[in-house]
Amino acid sequence: EQGLALAGPVIVHAVTRKGAGYAPAEESPRNFHGTPPFEEETGMPRARPQTDSYSAVFGKQLLRLARQDSRIVGLTAAMLDGTGMEYLHEAMPDRCLDVGMAEQHAVTFAAGLAAAGMRPVVAIYSTFAQRAYDQWVHDVCLQNLPVVLVLDRAGLVGDDGPTHHGAFDLSYLRHIPNLTLMAPKDEAELCRMLVTALELPGPSALRFPRGAGPGVPPPEVPEALPVGRAEVLTEGEDVLVLALGAAVPRALEVCERLREEGLAATVVNARFAKPLDAELILDRAARIGRVVTVEESALAGGFGSAVVELLSDAGVEGVRVRRAGLPDRFVSHGDNARLLAECGLDAPALAETIRATAKSPGVVVSGALGRERGEGSAS
C-alpha cells in the first residue's frame, strides 16, 4: 500500500525463507525445490525409487574416478543435488565447484582448468546448458580441450514442463566440430561412457534422462567404449531399428513383442550420436532397406536426422527411413507416460511405426552396399 502511494518507480524487497511454516521444507529447502507427491507428516515422497537415479549413478561413479585421478574436478551451476555432484562435493569439496546460476561461467571455467592440465566434468541440466552454447563452441570445442559436459534431464522431464524438457541438446551440439556425443542405454553404460569421456583428448558430452534407469548394476571396473561403435542387440531382416540412449530399452522391448508376431527386427543401440557407427549403419540399412530411428529428443537436427544425412551422403538410395522423436513443438507438462504417448514414443505407437515401416516396400541387395532399386525411398 505504501508503494502504491508513492510517485515514480518503486521496488519492494520481500525477505522470505523457503519452506517457511513447514518444518521438513525449512530443514531441507533444497529437497523441496521440486517435489513429487509426499507424506505431509514427514515430507518423504510417497513412492520412492528402488534403484539409484541416473544422476546418483553418475555422481557415485565420478567420485570413484576422482579418487583414482587427481586431475578430475567437478563443476555445476547451482545444481549440486540435482546433478549428482553432491557425492564429490561432500567427499572432496576442494575438487567440486558450484559456480551458482552461471552456466556460461561454468563452461569457460572448465576450459581454463582443462588448458591447465585438469580433467573437468561439468554437470548441467540439458535445458540450462543452452545458455552456455557460445562458451562451449569458442572456449571448449574450438580449442579442442578435454572438457566433459554431462547433460542431466535430457529428454522428457514430466511435470517440470516445457521449460525443463531436454529436447534440443542433440540438435545444438551435434554440428560442433571436435565433439564426441553419446547417450547410455542403462546405468552400466553410463559408467562406461564417463570413463570413455575422461580418456578422450578432446571435448565430449553425454546425455541421460531424469529418474531411474532400467536397473542394470554398474560394473566394478567400467571399461572405456570404442568411440563411434554401436551395439547390435538383436538380429532380424524385416526392419532396422536404430535407437539412442533412454529410447533403447523401450525400442528393444517393443521389438521383442513384435518378434512374437513374426516381425524380426535388427535392434541397434547407437551409443554415439557423433560420430555415428557409419560402417554398421550403412551396411544394415542397405541390406534391410527399412529403417526406424528412435530418440527422446527433437527430431529436427537430432539423431534421426544424422542417420538420414549419413545415408544421403553415402549415396544409399531406395531405403525407407522413419524417425520417432519429439515433435516440432514445445511439449507440455504431465507425467512421462502421457507425454510419451502424445509424442508417439510409447510402446503402442512405436510398435505401429515399426510395423508400418517393416511392411513398406524396401530394397533387395547383394553385398554390403550393393542394391537393386525398389519402391522404398529415404524420407
Span 196-235, pLDDT tens digits: 999 999 999 999 999 999 999 999 999 999 999 999 999 9
Q: What pLDDT does 369 receive?
A: 33
- What is the average pLDDT across 282-302? 97
- Active-site residue among 60, 71, 131, 338? 131
Phi, psi of 356 (to 5 degrees): -60, -40
Q: What is the pLDDT of residues 46-81, one digit of tens each?
A: 766 678 999 999 999 999 999 999 999 999 999 999
The residue from 64, 86, 103, 274 that is catalytic is 103
Q: Is 131 a catalytic residue?
A: yes
pLDDT band at 375 (very low <50, low <70, confident <90, very high): very low
**Any idea which residue has 500500500 for its cell?**
1
Among 20-34, 129-143, 158-172, 328-342, the minimum mean pLDDT is found in 20-34
d(CA 71, CA 65): 10
Would you state the torsion angle of the CA atoms of residues 374, 292, 286, 263, taken in this order, to the nearest 10 degrees?
Answer: -80
| Residue 41 phi, psi (nearest 5) | -70, -40
Q: What is the pLDDT of residue 366?
A: 29
Question: How far is 87 from 89, CA to CA, in rounded Å?
Answer: 5
Whole-angstrom CA distances from 159 to 151, 247, 298, 335, 337 are 19, 19, 18, 6, 11
376 pLDDT above the threshold of 90: no
Span 3-20, average pLDDT: 87
Shared fold status for 54-207 and 231-359? yes
Average pLDDT over residues 32-38: 69
Q: Do the Cβ atoms of 154 and 208 come closer than 8 Å?
A: yes
- Residue 97 pLDDT more than 50? yes
Q: CATH says 54-207 is which class?
A: alpha beta
**How high does pLDDT run on average in the chain?**
92
Residue 368: predicted pLDDT: 32
Percent of the chain surpassing pLDDT 70:
93
Topology (CATH) of 231-359: Rossmann fold (3.40.50)
- Show the CA angle centred on residue 171, arms to residues 183 and 276, nearest 5°: 50
Q: What is the pLDDT of residue 370?
A: 33
Residue 174: active-site member:
no
Q: What predicted TM-score, i.e. pTM, was given to this entire model?
A: 0.88
State yes or no: is 18 an active-site residue. Answer: yes
pLDDT digits (tens, 9 = 90+) for 237-251: 999 999 999 999 999
The average pLDDT across 257-262 equals 96
Q: Is the pLDDT higher at 36 or at 110?
A: 110
Task: Give the tens place of pLDDT for each residue, 151-191.
Answer: 999 999 998 889 999 999 999 999 999 999 999 999 999 99
Q: Cα(358)–Cα(352) distance, rounded to whole angstroms?
A: 10
Sequence spans of domains, the chain:
54-207, 231-359
Q: Which pLDDT score is estimated for 49?
A: 65
